[in-house]
Structures are given as C-alpha cells and as structure tokens.
Amino acid sequence: MTLIVILLNAILVDNFVLSKFMGICPFLGVSKKLDSAAGMGAAVTFVMVCATLCTYPIYTFILVPMGLEYLKTIAFILIIALFVQLVEMVLKKKVQSLYNALGVYLPLITTNCAVLGVTILNVDKEFGFAESLVNSLGGGLGFTLALLIFSGVRSRVSNADVPEMFKGVPATLIAASIVSVSFMGFSGLFG
C-alpha cells in the first residue's frame, strides 16, 4: 500500500517538474513536439530507475559503513555520468531501434537535475531499496506526464496571438504556471 502511495505521490503531488522545479531545461527545451517529449520522458524515467539501482547499494554498502556520506554528491554524479555513457554505448551496439528512439536524449540527461535530485532525495528521505525504486519510477513517470501535457499546451500557445514582448519563452513560462496551478489540485491527496 505504501509503495502505491509513494508512486502516486511522486507522479502527481510532488511532480518533479511542476512542484519541485527539477529538469526545467528539458521541460522547456524538448517539449515542443509530442514525440520528442515522449522520447525524453522515457529516457529520463529509464535513467532515473537505473541510477537508483546503482546509487542505492553504493551508498548503503560503501559510503555509509566507511562514514563517507558527505561524498554522496560527487559519487552520485559520477555514477550517473558513467551509467549514461555505458547505456549509450550498449544501446548503440546491441539495441539499435531503442538507440534511435532514445539515443539523442541520453547525453543531455547527465546534467539533468531531476536524475541527481531523485537519487539524493531517496537518501535524504531514508527510503529502503524498494521504496527508492518506486519513488524514482514515479518521479520519471511524473516528468513524462508533465512533458506530454505541456507539449500539447505549447502547440496551442505557439499559435496564439500573444503581445510582442511575451512571445517565445515568457509565454511558455506563463503557460507552465497555469499547468502548475492545475497540478496544485492534487496537493494533500495523501495527507
């Protein structure tokens, strides 16, 4: 039961993009088209879950016993960078079709704050292994959901007649603020 609560909480209530402001760059940069939004979302979800799969054991079995918790930022970002590189290489060699779909988004993910954010958040909230994985999955799905919704909103905004000074990024940000208001409706859903 708690796992489901964590999952829904991460997708809807604590949405990474719209309430925690993580991964704003891809949210604004890659949300112009539905298919690229879906590709980026899938890549981020995949890397988030796998990064948690790697960082959790390293934190619990190496950093904590040796009293090196303060090195978690350095350790996690290196693991993520390494992992992204590895996934890119493996996909390129072995799974060509998946590489074509996700490949272009992978290098961007190293510096995506949502990925580093979710791994540190799991440690800060003292989640267990299963809870961490579910939280990461929820975070990734929430990110994808926000990107998909926003790509739809954005295609309408780009056709709208906005004042000259608001054209481009300002109009996009204000549209994002309205989408964010709609997600506020979920707050307090699980107490």
Partner 1 sequence: MAEKTVQKQENKGMLKELTKGIIKENPTLVTLLGMCPTLAVTVMASNGIGMGLATTFVLICSNLVISLLKNVIPKAVRLPCFIVIIASFVTLIEFLMKGYLPELYDSLGLYLSLITVNCIILGRAEAFASKNSVLASVLDAVGMGIGFTLALFAMGSIREIIGTGKWFGIDLHLPVTMTLFIMSAGGFFTLGVIIALVNKIAGKSAPAEVGCAACPHAENCPSYNKTEDKKEAAAE
Residues of the shown chain interacting with partner 1 in the complex, contacts defined by CB under 8 A: 18-25, 28-30, 32, 36, 70-74, 77-78, 81-82, 104-105, 107-108, 110-113, 116-117, 120-121, 124, 164-174, 176-178, 180-181, 184
Q: How far is the CB of 164 from partner 1 (least distance, A)?
A: 7
Nearer to partner 1, 4 or 182 (CB): 182
Angle at 21 between CA 18 and CA 26, to 5 degrees: 90
Name the one residue in this structure whose structure tokens are 């994002």: 176
* Under 8 Å between Cβ of 13 and 189: yes
Nearer to partner 1, 118 or 141 (CB): 118
Q: How far is the CB of 48 from partner 1 (least distance, A)?
A: 14
* Under 8 Å between Cβ of 75 and 141: no
Q: Which amino acid is at 33?
A: K
Q: How far is the CB of 1 from partner 1 (least distance, A)?
A: 26
Q: How far is the CB of 5 from partner 1 (least distance, A)?
A: 21
- How many C-beta neighbours within 10 Å does residue 176 have? 21
Nearer to partner 1, 166 or 190 (CB): 166
* Nearest to 139, CA basis, from 46, 66, 32, 39: 46
Nearer to partner 1, 4 or 115 (CB): 115
* Under 8 Å between Cβ of 102 and 46: yes
